[in-house]
Homo-oligomer: A and B are copies of this chain.
């Protein structure tokens, strides 16, 4: 049954599961579990939720993704940017720490899961393409800055809040007097240690000649070490009583069965954030999955990925979690550690289950400042302001999109930032394609070729306008074409024929068809014939289904050369009044050819 295995890829790889697969998957699972425990706790903190929510969000979703997803190495769970977006969305409807907040978070996961599933079932994955790369890069960079700043309050041991940079900074400044020195020491110490692991330890390990995968995996154990040391120090030195905020009691047990809220008002408020989280999460996840799959010439199916992520998020909603997606660093670790199949994810889930059953008492004394340090160090690697410079050099339109995205994300928050980025990209694209490149063409002397009069020394005639349009004709540029032609005809009173060269026109939609009809009629009123040349086969097939060809005052020519030859001949036979110069004239102005 090929159909079932398409929707349930586990049937495919599960049937061929080998002992080698098992050992690769088991080793990868152990490493990822060790890495995921601190990450899950930290991202729960970032999302404004109790630490156990992070562990819960990593168990059921991983298993569901293993059943439905197509990537062999993707590791699903809470990630930084989505956790920040969760905090922003849920912070609008509930107060951190309340039961309503947790319910809203899992409702958001449920909504997002439903949307991802729907997008997958209706094969609408292409919608994610409207997030241009620069917009994504700008958004991730700005989010990284927001996340790092949002964690400063834990490092400083003060209160703080806000979902955009101005609010965050003012709230930090307002409370800076409450600075707690022991917290600051723990926080700065952990941050410095983690930076050293990343910048200093990795090169050191690389020099030892260990394989790159192993180096990567070992350096990911840094957060576990930081947590162990600071937790021990806090317990021994009684730092909790000295004002260092600690994680405290984390319930031991299986993930709870939870139900999202169905309150219409809550659902309405969370609808747009859920959509944005779904799209951002999907884009992040699929980029990782494709990168890893390509390394082994494997393929992933974007629409099936939507279903896998949708199932994972619904799982998160039903087991006390919050929105999840495929994370970059954990997937790379999973891959490097030798994960062969999605079963590695299932084994990771077992590892986390054991942690949530037995290990939570160990983190009672874990300082929140340590978690904040792991977040800060992780997200600062996301910050890459070079995109601003690169787009500036390469394309001003992309520069505009990325600048607006970064400025609005930092200044007004993640939702407005990413929405504005998408809107600006689409508008810029529409604006551009609404003014397609067009060229008046003339004959290259002695040949049958017709080229742009502004770039080549070519021959033209005052009584024939040859216009080439370098884009498909559709509603956004139909009127522009009309304007161009009316304009040219108004400025060139001697003209008797207009030939539109359609060699680059892949499509003519209904609006463009009507514009062509309007051009034909208006030129007829002015006693000018309208012709087409080099119309592509599929476009011609469609034109034949309309009545345009019946009303066309001129002809459709196979080649532009044929058109100009035939029309020139007819003009020689019937010279118009007051029009003598019938010879080809070379246009000299603005020739940019050597």
Contacts and interface: CB of A to CB of B under 8 A. Distances in A.
8 contacts: A126-B431, A126-B435, A129-B434, A129-B475, A129-B478, A297-B493, A299-B486, A432-B507
A287 to B, nearest CB: 9
A335 interface: no
A394 interface: yes
B134 A511 contact: yes
B434 A126 contact: yes
Given A126-B480, A291-B522, A432-B507, 8 more contacts: A126-B435, A130-B434, A297-B490, A302-B483, A394-B545, A398-B511, A437-B506, A471-B506
- Main DSSP-derived SS at the A contact region: helix
Given A129-B480, A510-B133, A475 B429 contact: yes
Contact of A130 (B294, B390, B430): B430
A395 B290 contact: no
Contacts of A546: 390, 393-394
A319 interface: no
A475 B430 contact: no
A125 B5 CA distance: 52
A397 interface: yes
A135 B397 CA distance: 29
Interface string A403-427: 0000000000000000000000110
A243 to B, nearest CB: 46
Contacts of A130: 430, 434, 475-476
Interface of A: 126, 128-135, 290-291, 294-295, 297-299, 302, 390-391, 393-395, 397-398, 425-426, 429-435, 437, 470-472, 474-480, 482-483, 486-487, 489-490, 493, 504, 506-507, 509-511, 513-515, 518, 522, 525-526, 542, 545-546
Contact of A390 (B135, B489, B510, B518): B510
A210 B583 CA distance: 45
Contacts of A514: 133
Contact of A510 (B391, B426, B433, B479): B391
A290 B394 CA distance: 38
Given A294-B525, A506-B470, A476 B393 contact: no
Contacts of A294: 486, 522, 525-526
A437 B419 CA distance: 29
Contacts of A129: 434, 475-480
Contacts of A490: 297-299
Contacts of A131: 475
Contacts of A134: 510-511
Nearest to A523: B294
A429 B133 CA distance: 20
A475 B431 CA distance: 14
Nearest to A431: B126
A293 to B, nearest CB: 8
Contacts of A132: 474-475, 509-511
A430 B474 CA distance: 12
A394 B486 CA distance: 26
A11 to B, nearest CB: 21
B398 A509 contact: yes
A290 B133 contact: no
A433 B546 CA distance: 23
Contacts of A489: 297
A542 B510 contact: no
Contacts of A475: 129-133, 135, 425, 429
A474 B430 CA distance: 12
Contacts of A487: 299
Given A397-B509, A511-B132, A542-B394, A526 B297 contact: yes
Central interface residue in A429, A470, A478, A483, by most chain B CB within 10 Å? A429
Contacts of A425: 475
Nearest to A487: B299
A514 B287 CA distance: 12
A494 to B, nearest CB: 13
Nearest to A387: B510
Nearest to A293: B486
Contact of A429 (B432, B476, B482): B476
A393 B474 CA distance: 17
A426 B437 contact: no
Contacts of A474: 132, 429
